[in-house]
Structure 1
Amino acid sequence: MAIDWVEARETAWRAGFESRPAHGHASFGEAIGSALAAPLRSASDLPAFPTSAVDGWAVAGPGPWTIDGEILAGSVPGPIDAGQAVKIATGAQVPAGCEGIIRLENAHVDGTAVSGETAREWREAGEEARAGEELLAEGTPITAPVVGLAAAAGYSSLDAYRRPLTSLVIFGDELLTSGVSREGRVRDSLGPMVPHLLDAAGGMATGTIGPVADTLDDHVEALRSALDSADVVCTTGGTMVGPVDHLHAALKAVDASYVLNTVSVRPGFPMLLARTPNGRFIAGLPGNPQSAVIAVVTIVAPLLAGLRGLPLPPLRETVLAEDVPGRGESTHLALVDPTGRRIAHHGSAMLRGLASAAGFALIAPGTAAKAGQRVPLVPVPGVSA
């Protein structure tokens, strides 16, 4: 029986979170997009020593001051005495004895003397953080600024949940990998697209297998090959029970059990999520391109978040610019542009509308939405701003 869309997201996320691998030290590149598995603490005072906030002159005692030397960033200065002025660069260590800094643009130089208004134009040692102080809590998403903070705090790696390895298996004799659709066969769009969606959702794509022939043996062989190197395998097509839909039988052959099997959503029907005995996941995406993307945002993105120790990705909001119909007892995910207007070319087999969309407006089961109504917006990994 198909489950509710909201429940499907939560189920997929929970399955990932409960199966997240043991954490460990990961390079910044491996950790970014994941979550801290332990609090980030400063390895030293930040700054580690007083640093100038401006280009100027470090001075001591009353002025005017006699110019005597220069301090560049990266050097260790000696102390200065009363009446002495030392030119100092932004970021350079402030010398002992310094009582003020004259900004370069406010300084008046007359031969070997300098005068001007002074101020405490420097950052004190430990002003941002003291050694051992908690900078970020466990579970914090690792973004580019988090990596920068970790580097400034003295680290070269992070205690983190690594990004899951993903693989894509394309099913279908009817698919072409080059040229235009012809002679009853269609150009595959999911093979070039889905790995980028998986990367944007926090995975690390390892490769694509296929198109795979429409036989059970070929399906089983492809699944086993993908599962050898990936934590999450996404498949395209075969989620129905037609004469050449072998995914369900292939799942049985690799001893996978269903986490969820079909979700009550349109477009996007049917999709599934299964787990192997060794804790690897198989996400079955429909063969229609837009439906496949909806399966990614419904089950794969939440699953990848859970595997990285992150919370369920939040939904955004949009204000609809026009009425949007419901889809009976199913959740309706309707493509809308940044103004909340429904996009044309929104059929499940179409990508033209998706290419310019802000995301999917969520219309709850048994309802329709009116212009001016605020509704949840489901973002597309790597697409929605």
Structure 2
Amino acid sequence: MAAPHLHTHEATWPEARRIARQAARRLGPQVQPLGDDALGTALAEPLTALVDLPSFDSSAMDGWAVAGPGPWWLTGQLLAGQGSPALLRDGCAAPIATGAVLPPGAVAVLRSEHGRTEHRTDGTRLELREQRFAPRPGQEVRRRGQECRSGDELLPAGAVVTPAVLGLAAASGYDELTVTARPRVEVLVLGDELLGHGLPRKGRVRDALGPMLPSWLRALGAEVTSVRHLLDDLGAVREAISAGSADLIITTGGTAGGPVDHVHPVLAAIGAKLLVDGVAVRPGHPMLLAELPTPGPATAPARASAAVPGGGPFLIGLPGNPLAAAAGVLTLVAPLLRTLAGHRVPAPYAAPLTEDVAGHRVDTRLVPVVFDDDSAARPLRFAGSAMLRGLAAADGMAVIPPGGLRAGQETAVLDTGMSAAAWGSGG
């Protein structure tokens, strides 16, 4: 039987990113305890305040809670963690620690360095060191609800869970968060010529993508379930793709039209829907995006999944050359993962170029750049499709439209996401 015909669509670079972003649907929600497993995921629902923050009036400084104008007579002691204190009468003060409950009757807190005490036979007297230190009403006091009121939206759905988000959730009384499931990704590294260790030698090159992609994908918020190295064998490639159980399969190499480039024939044979077949970008032109047939119950992952039209699973075929593959990650992988993971689209940023950059006649170019002290983008050498030296030193990838740009002109700069912590940046 003849393999089904695949509709092909070579896309412009902006169009390819849009297709990748819109092809998928957000994965289902899951509940995660506060901790490392939640880091890098996106909130599946807004984070709302469970209580007022602070939930009581408290001292912002070590010092004395004071009632009325000074001088004051000292009474008692107020420490963090204590319950409701007694009324502080006018003309009295009580030593208070940072975070301790402000007693009823107190109007302000006098900082410890702004007052001095004098022990007398009838008690201990507190005075100002200087009149300019006289506390104003509410001074050094954290008022209840100063940060938020119960029911306020603290963060919207789609916010990436960072260490600070964990801290905010804990401070608000949460023990767990409802987040979007982390996309599961399998990586298939194709090529007879690849070496897994040792020095490159004639006809053989070291595999750069096997070490590079997994940590990069984790930084983009994915869970990498496996990395497999395959020879250029049609049957092996078809078996690996057909047996995949992840939300996204990424292949490297085998996407062009050479005699051992098997990705296209396999996709045709299994009835995949090809969404992007080639992108007008340099490097990285022979990349592709396909929606795979939905796996049956025996192979579907036991997890929250969007097993509906537009829910995948998906396959992204990256070129085998390292910088071309990196361009494919920025063009197709990052936008698709962002949608699956429920991450918001990051705000773009632009920078002026420090020098002229030649452009392709019709294709977009992605060029590694570093920022100078004036936040201008300086193009780096070693930007060939097989080179990683420029990318390894880069702060980002400048988007050069067809025809090129002159020095001083602004252009979009893509954050690669490589410098993010391993728990994810959203891409």
> Structure 2-normalised TM-score?
0.83
1:179 aligns with 2:216: no
- Write the distance in 2 (CA, Å) between the matches of 1:306 and 1:135: 22
Distance (whole Å) between structure 1 residues aligned to residue 87 and residue 222 of structure 2? 54
| Structure 2 partner of 1:245 | 261
> What is the RMSD of the two structures over their aligned residues, measured on CA atoms?
2.1
Taking the aligned partners of 2:288 and 2:323, their CA distance within structure 1 comes to 16
Q: 1:86 aligns with which of 79, 85, 94?
A: 94
Is 1:53 matched with 2:60? Answer: yes
Q: Following the alignment from structure 1 to structure 2, what is the Cα–Cα distance between the partners of residues 236 and 7?
A: 22
1:102 aligns with one of 110, 114, 123: 110
CA shift, 1:242, in A, is 1.3
Q: Once the two structures are aligned, what percentage of the paired residues are identical?
A: 44
Residue 141 of structure 2 corresponds to residue 129 of structure 1: no
Whether the 8 Å CA contact 2:85–2:102 is kept in 1: the answer is no
What residue in structure 1 maps to residue 167 of structure 2? 148
Task: Label 1:87 to 1:254 Cα distance change in 2 as closer, same or farther (>3 A).
Answer: farther
Once the two structures are overlaid, the 10-residue window that deviates more, 182-191 or 156-165, is 156-165
**Residue of structure 2 equivalent to 1:346:** 383
After superposition, what is the alpha-carbon deviation per residue over 1:230-275, rounded to whole angstroms, capped at 9, x for unaligned? 2122111111121211112233454432121111111112101112
Q: Deviations over 1:266-307 (max 9, x none)?
A: 111210111222221111111000000000000000001111
From 135, 149, 172, the equivalent of 1:118 is 135
Q: 2:285 matched to 1:257?
A: no
Structure 2 CA distance for aligned equivalents of residues 126 and 311 of structure 1:
29
What's the CA shift string for 1:57-110, capped at 9, x where partnerless?
112345433333332222224214324432211122212232221101101011
* Gap change, CA 1:50 and 1:77, over 3 Å in 2: same
Q: Distance in 1 between matches of 2:205 and 2:71?
A: 81
State how many pairs are aligned: 379
Counterpart-to-counterpart distance in 2, 1:155 and 1:379 = 32
Asked if the contact 2:78/2:85 (under 8 Å) is kept, the reply is no
Task: Name the aligned partner's letter for residue 370 of structure 1.
Answer: R
Residue identity in the other structure for 1:256: A
Which secondary structure does the structure 2 equivalent of 1:309 belong to?
Answer: coil
What's the offset of the Cα at 1:30?
4.4
The equivalent residue for 1:294 is 327
Q: Is the 8 A contact 1:71 1:77 kept in 2?
A: no
Correspondence 1:189 to 2:170: no
* CA distance in 2: counterparts of 1:58 and 1:354, whole angstroms: 57
Amino acid aligned to 2:394: A
Q: Do residues 326 (structure 1) and 359 (structure 2) align? A: yes
Partner of 2:301: none
Structure 2 residue runs without a partner (length 5+)? 1-8, 129-133, 295-311
Cα shift at 1:183: 4.2
* DSSP-derived class of the 1:57 partner: strand
**Structure 2 counterpart of 1:161, from 174, 177, 180:** 180
8 Å contact from structure 2 (residues 42, 159) kept in 1: yes
Q: Give the Cα separation in 1 of the matches to 2:127 and 2:106.
A: 15
- Aligned counterpart, 1:42: 49
The answer for the alignment partner of 1:280 in structure 2 is: 313
Equivalent position to 1:3, from 5, 11, 15: 11
1:382 is the counterpart of 2:418: yes
- 8 Å Cα contact 1:42/1:132 also seen in 2: yes
Answering whether residue 235 of structure 2 is matched by residue 217 of structure 1, we say yes
- Please give the alpha-carbon distance, in whole angstroms, between the structure 1 residues aligned to 2:274 and 2:98: 59
CA contact (8 A) 2:159 2:344 kept: no
Question: Aligned residue for 1:200?
Answer: 219
Q: What does residue 27 of structure 2 align with? A: 21
Cα distance in structure 1, aligned partners of 2:186 and 2:77: 57
Q: Which residue of 2 aligns with 1:360?
A: 397
Q: What is the letter of the counterpart of residue 271 of structure 1?
A: M
Closer, same or farther in 2 for the Cα pair 1:248/1:27, shift >3 Å?
farther
Instruction: Give how far 1:335 is off.
Output: 2.0
Provide closer, same or farther for how the CA distance between residues 311 and 330 of structure 1 changes in structure 2, counting only shifts above 3 A. Answer: same
Deviations 1:105-136 (A, max 9, x none): 10101123322233422111112222122223
What amino acid sits opposite 1:158 in the alignment?
Answer: L
